[in-house]
Homo-oligomer: A and B are copies of this chain.
Amino acid sequence: MKPVFITPSAQPSARWYQAFPDLQIIPTVKAYLTRVHRPGDGCWLDISPFDNDQAQSAIVALAAEDIRVMVLSYLPSEAEAYGMLSSGARGYCHAQAPPSQLQEVATAVMAGGYWMPPILLQRLVSAAIRIDSGPPIAIPQGFESLTEREHQVALEVGRGANNREIATTLAVSERTVKAHLTSIFDKLSLRDRVQLALLVNRLPVH
């Protein structure tokens, strides 16, 4: 699949062509969305013609279609990066980044990952740590009290499996799965599998 760049510029950067000789230019987001595209596709978005709000709207619209958006900025900044990423962008880099870096970004993002300048990620993480360090996170107490089998069942529930599927996966009867679940609910003081699924994924429950 050809790399797609959404940019109004008739004369796109030479670096882009160096990175992706077969790239395709689309002038607007609207044109891109009316064109053939599928969930999981990736696209580059040149945000230079937009202000911050317009850019974020564009990303949201693309992300809604499950398009992986890689943002190209001519004036990258930390604040801008956070804005773009929080709107759903998966990549953020300088529009004039070296071709090899552009290729890196594309590879990482198309593999399901994210890409941002390393320094940014570092700052992001340390910021989050500062913010997070105060309030103690509700840690799933007692998870280690589960037996191996119960642990396996819990993980399956955390992925959305129903009893029949778990039984098949673990090669036991549905009755056995139920027994493990009852034991898990008891040990972790949970009400039902929905709460378990959330807990397994470290999410707050009601």
List the interface of chain A (C-beta within 8 A of B): 39, 63-66, 75-79, 82-83, 85-86, 96, 101, 103-105, 107-109, 111-116, 119, 121-132, 137, 139-144, 155, 157, 159-162, 165, 191-195, 197-198, 201-206
Query: Which residue, of A115, A116, A132, A206, has the highest number of chain B Cβ atoms within 10 A?
Result: A132
The 22 sampled A-B contact pairs (Cβ below 8 Å) are A63-B141, A64-B141, A64-B142, A64-B144, A76-B202, A78-B202, A79-B137, A82-B128, A82-B132, A86-B131, A103-B111, A105-B112, A108-B111, A108-B112, A108-B113, A111-B113, A112-B115, A157-B194, A159-B198, A160-B191, A198-B201, A201-B203
Whether A107 lies near B96 (C-beta < 8 A) is: no
Residues of B within 8 A of A104 (CB): 111-113
Q: Residue on B with the closest CB to A106?
A: B111
Whether B78 lies near A137 (C-beta < 8 A) is: yes
**Number of copies of this chain in the oligomer?**
2
